[in-house]
Chains A and B, each alone.
Chain A
Amino acid sequence: MDVCRSTSTTRGRRPSAGSHQYLTLTVALLLLACSSQLLLVDATNNWWSLALTPIQRPEMYIIGAQPLCSQLSGLSQGQRKLCQLYQDHMTYIGDGAKTGIKECQYQFRQRRWNCSTVDNTSVFGRVLQIGSRETAFTYAVSAAGVVNAVSRACREGELSTCGCSRAARPRELPRDWLWGGCGDNVNYGYRFAREFAVYNLANVACKCHGVSGSCSLKTCWLQLADFRRVGEFLKEKYDSAAAMRVGRKGKLEQVDKRFNAPTPEDLVYMDPSPDYCLGNATTGSLGTVGRLCNKTSEGVDGCELMCCGRGYDQFKTHKHERCHCKFHWCCYVKCKRCTTLVDQFVCK
């Protein structure tokens, strides 16, 4: 929880957060883990660059005079401080962000906006400075990715601050552990996850170990879901996201009151999505020119919708597939590459 606490103090010190994005993020993404809030301090934050900057293993610069945090681009002042506090976490936060971006790109591979990254520092470009649905989704999925990665690192024993420690009183840690075990707390990542929608996706597994293996004694635990399922879940939330606006008292209220009010587990947004059809330097939209599309589909991935009615070009290309595979060992199957000639369509 320490991360969360430091976040709020950071936020308090920087009240310049009047921008739409900030509001969207705090309210909208209540479901967000604090790890994401920690990184959402400023309007122009680009912490995703952690996903792209190759970070060396932390032990390499722990002794070094100039720690990595000041070298990283895209971090705000507050984030930089946190980064220094939790240096060992940064690699995993970067990994998590990477997983999140990948999942985002998978979920949106057939949409006009496909979660593509543009450059190393701003990562997604200016698009995410608009408080749109897409922004909400991106934040949610990357937070989930971070939760996943931190929890994973904890289980591997990579992070020294995990376990049932409450960072405030680490001295009592072994005693707590001896007395009551750690329960859910042991997975530091879960601490974020507990308030997080992803928690709902986790399923419960149990083991009976009473007399003769009977169920007179049973232990249950939570298992985090496959990340693809998390992505799908958030995609559903994206589709049902609620439009919000700043009311008279400066509070967020729903634009269309006929709908059910969003719960803390729903995504909300404030700005309409920009036009993703055409490239626009102001909004940061990349446009769909050059995107592949499906000629036969009538959905969003179909050429009609994807190309926004501009039409498409057809060309032939070689498609490579794995075939005649030979098993080597569990995780390595050697395959030949078979090439077929296929038609492909690209938006004008």
Chain B
Amino acid sequence: MAGAIIENMSTKKLVIVGVILLFFQAFSFMVGGPTTAVHYLATKCVDAAKNHQSTKWFMPWGPNQCEKIRTFDEAMAKKIEANNIVFAVHIPLPNMEMSPWFQFMLVILQFDIAFKMHNQIEDGALATVDVGLAYRDDMLSEWTEMAHSLEQRKLNCNFTTTKTYENEGRYYECELLPFMEVGSVAHKYYLLNIRLPVHERKKINVGIGEIKDIRLVCIHQNGGFTQVWFAMKTFLTPSILIIMIWYWRRITLMTRPPVLLEKVIFALGISMTFINIPVEWFSVGFDWTWMLLFGDIRQGIFYSMLLSFWIIFCGEHLMDQMERNRFSVYWKQVGPIVFGSFCLFIFDMCERGVQLTNPFYSIWASDVGTELAMAFIIVAGICACLYFLFLCFMVFQVFRNISGKRSSLPAMSKGLIFRFKFLMLVTLFCAAMTVIFFIISQVNEGHWRWGDHTVQVNSAFFTGIYGMWNLYVFAIMFLYAPSHKRYGDQSSGQCIISDTGANSGEDIQLTTTITHVDGPTELYKMTGKEAQE
């Protein structure tokens, strides 16, 4: 009889594997900051041309810079109208270059609006911005237009002090406005030209207060982080892939067809590999704006697979009198997961999908969009709650059954039960770590000091959690693979499958003469027997 490795491996080896995995885990927490936010202040340029349809681009600095004004009072004095003022922002700052290693570019818009008794922000004021984005790859060539759009953003501002003449000139406190999201940074220089067209009769840009300045914050991934991230993925892909092949070989070597649990573990391995494959390397050479969306989808697939795995893992160890081992038994539990992830997928398509064509689009900008987005998120949240309840209930049942039937399961040693509980605890630990790190990275928006080193919680969260789930999947595939210890006894003299698939060439004449039926685990067999009775 052959059990899974987890049942047959010595405790010493188990500990060694655990320590090695922990070491990799610690390493994945040590990676530096993932993103940088750079501030920009829009330069107010004067468009002297009467016809604003011209495709002229306004540069805030350097050669060919535009004619500037410093304040709007100056514009007033020179009789320049609102439609003739162009807010120009060059990304990045002078002497810098953008790079494909930055992966994405996310721009946030902030208005500096001064309080004036006679020009206050009305309730539900909408700012309409006419915005153009252009790029070029050297300092001398012409700008090429990338996108142009007329966008509306809702101003959510409040004035914290009393509205008196005394306090004129103080700024409103306004919420950040999502402005632009580009999924690849393929060019060196970007230029944003923003206009605030005023049309009194159509009520466009009326009642938005006295705008003093436009500020932008541009967030991008750090090149260094991207490189470490890619390296990590490139390293993890073959690791998981090899263990997956090894695992599946072991399964197919057995005489019986694989059971559901084994198939699910295999599927988990496939989705992990799918998320691991470093297709991002292509973003360095190609201008693939859909990479961001693709990354989201991959991550979504993996997490829904992981959640389904837990349900089935618990269900298969449930030792009740039901015939399981069929996927259809679990539709009730897996249903919410699939539905929830589908909702999030739709939401993501609505936001990042549309951004493929219009980088300035934001689902949060319109009321209908906001409600729709909220609806999707709430539905996904409800699904998550349902799932969690299901899972808790099943885990509770498993533990109750194990402790209740321990006396009637003589084949199972105490150590074996301990190992199952141990894996359960590891799962719980991983889940708890994810939640805890998530909370910490939300609450503490800075760094943790560790002696002289500052650990950036945010990136630790990002790479650490990613590394952790990789190791988790690795460990599961390793520990739940059928053990070869007993094969060795029976198929004496035959070549035995080795720990990795690297020398699979030797495995060709591997025995297929194992006659007895092996279950994936002792426990599994016990439950199966009971179910048949």
Binding site for B on A (CB under 8 A): 152, 154-158, 160, 162-163, 165, 173-174, 177-183, 186-187, 204-207, 209, 211-213, 215-221, 226, 228, 322, 325, 327-333, 335
Residues of A within 8 A of B119 (CB): 325, 327, 333
B169 contacts A332, C-beta separation under 8 Å: no
A207 and B96 in contact (CB under 8 A), knowing A218-B458, A221-B39? Answer: no
CA–CA, A212 to B441, complex, Å? 17
Residues of B within 8 A of A209 (CB): 106, 219
CA–CA, A322 to B119, complex, Å? 12
The verdict on B259 contacting chain A, using a C-beta distance below 8 Å, is no
B99 contacts A178, C-beta separation under 8 Å: yes
CA–CA, A211 to B438, complex, Å? 13
Closest chain A CB from B126 CB (angstroms):
12
Chain B residue at minimal CB-CB distance from A323:
B118
Residues of B within 8 A of A163 (CB): 93-96
Q: A212's contact among B43, B170, B215, B344, by CB below 8 Å, is which?
A: B344
Size bin of chain B's contact surface: 35 or more
B93 contacts A157, C-beta separation under 8 Å: yes
Closest chain A CB from B144 CB (angstroms):
21
5 contacts between A and B (CB under 8 A): A179-B222, A211-B348, A212-B351, A217-B35, A329-B205
A182 contacts B36, C-beta separation under 8 Å: yes
Residues of A within 8 A of B39 (CB): 155, 186-187, 221
CA–CA, A100 to B377, complex, Å? 47
Closest chain B CB from A269 CB (angstroms):
29
A218 contacts B442, C-beta separation under 8 Å: yes
Residues of B within 8 A of A329 (CB): 81-82, 198, 205
Closest chain B CB from A158 CB (angstroms):
6
Residues of A within 8 A of B347 (CB): 212
B176 contacts A207, C-beta separation under 8 Å: yes
B205 contacts A207, C-beta separation under 8 Å: no
The verdict on B365 contacting chain A, using a C-beta distance below 8 Å, is no
A155 and B40 in contact (CB under 8 A), knowing A162-B93, A212-B344? Answer: yes
Those 9 A-B pairs whose CB atoms lie nearest each other, nearest first: A181-B36, A155-B41, A221-B37, A331-B72, A329-B82, A179-B224, A325-B118, A329-B198, A220-B445
B61 contacts A331, C-beta separation under 8 Å: no
B215 contacts A155, C-beta separation under 8 Å: yes
The verdict on B200 contacting chain A, using a C-beta distance below 8 Å, is yes
List B86-130 residues whose CB lies under 8 Å from chain A.
90, 92-97, 99, 101, 106, 108, 116-119
Chain A residue at minimal CB-CB distance from B99:
A178
Main secondary structure of the interface of B (DSSP, over half): mixed
Residues of A within 8 A of B97 (CB): 174, 177-178
CA–CA, A157 to B81, complex, Å? 25
B33 contacts A180, C-beta separation under 8 Å: yes
Closest chain A CB from B505 CB (angstroms):
41
B72 contacts A332, C-beta separation under 8 Å: yes
A218 and B441 in contact (CB under 8 A), knowing A163-B93, A174-B96, A181-B220? Answer: yes
Residues of B within 8 A of A156 (CB): 40-43, 60-61
CA–CA, A325 to B458, complex, Å? 50
A180 and B82 in contact (CB under 8 A), knowing A158-B61, A228-B169, A335-B118? Answer: no
Chain B residue at minimal CB-CB distance from A335:
B118
Chain A residue at minimal CB-CB distance from B209:
A330
The verdict on B387 contacting chain A, using a C-beta distance below 8 Å, is no
Residues of B within 8 A of A158 (CB): 61
Q: A220's contact among B37, B118, B196, by CB below 8 Å, is which?
A: B37
Q: B95's contact among A152, A173, A212, A328, by CB below 8 Å, is which?
A: A173
Indicate with 1 or 0, residue by residue over B199-238, a CB within 8 angstroms of chain A CB atoms. Answer: 0100001111111100101011011100000000000000
CA–CA, A216 to B60, complex, Å? 35
Q: A178's contact among B38, B211, B223, by CB below 8 Å, is which?
A: B223
B222 contacts A181, C-beta separation under 8 Å: yes
Residues of A within 8 A of B38 (CB): 181-182, 186
Known: A207-B217, A221-B39, A330-B198. 14 other contacts (CB 8 A): A155-B41, A157-B61, A160-B94, A160-B95, A173-B95, A174-B96, A178-B224, A179-B224, A205-B217, A207-B176, A211-B344, A219-B37, A220-B446, A330-B209
Residues of A within 8 A of B116 (CB): 333
Residues of B within 8 A of A173 (CB): 95-96
Most buried by A among B93, B94, B220, B461: B93
Residues of B within 8 A of A162 (CB): 93-94
CA–CA, A162 to B41, complex, Å? 14
CA–CA, A158 to B41, complex, Å? 10
CA–CA, A173 to B438, complex, Å? 33
Chain A residue at minimal CB-CB distance from B94:
A157
Closest chain B CB from A335 CB (angstroms):
6
The verdict on B300 contacting chain A, using a C-beta distance below 8 Å, is yes
Residues of A within 8 A of B211 (CB): 330-331
CA–CA, A204 to B40, complex, Å? 16
A183 and B206 in contact (CB under 8 A), knowing A156-B41, A212-B344, A216-B438? Answer: no
Residues of A within 8 A of B196 (CB): 330
Chain A residue at minimal CB-CB distance from B211:
A330
Most buried by B among A156, A186, A325: A156
Q: B106's contact among A207, A215, A216, by CB below 8 Å, is which?
A: A207
CA–CA, A55 to B320, complex, Å? 87
A332 contacts B76, C-beta separation under 8 Å: yes
Residues of A within 8 A of B217 (CB): 205, 207, 221
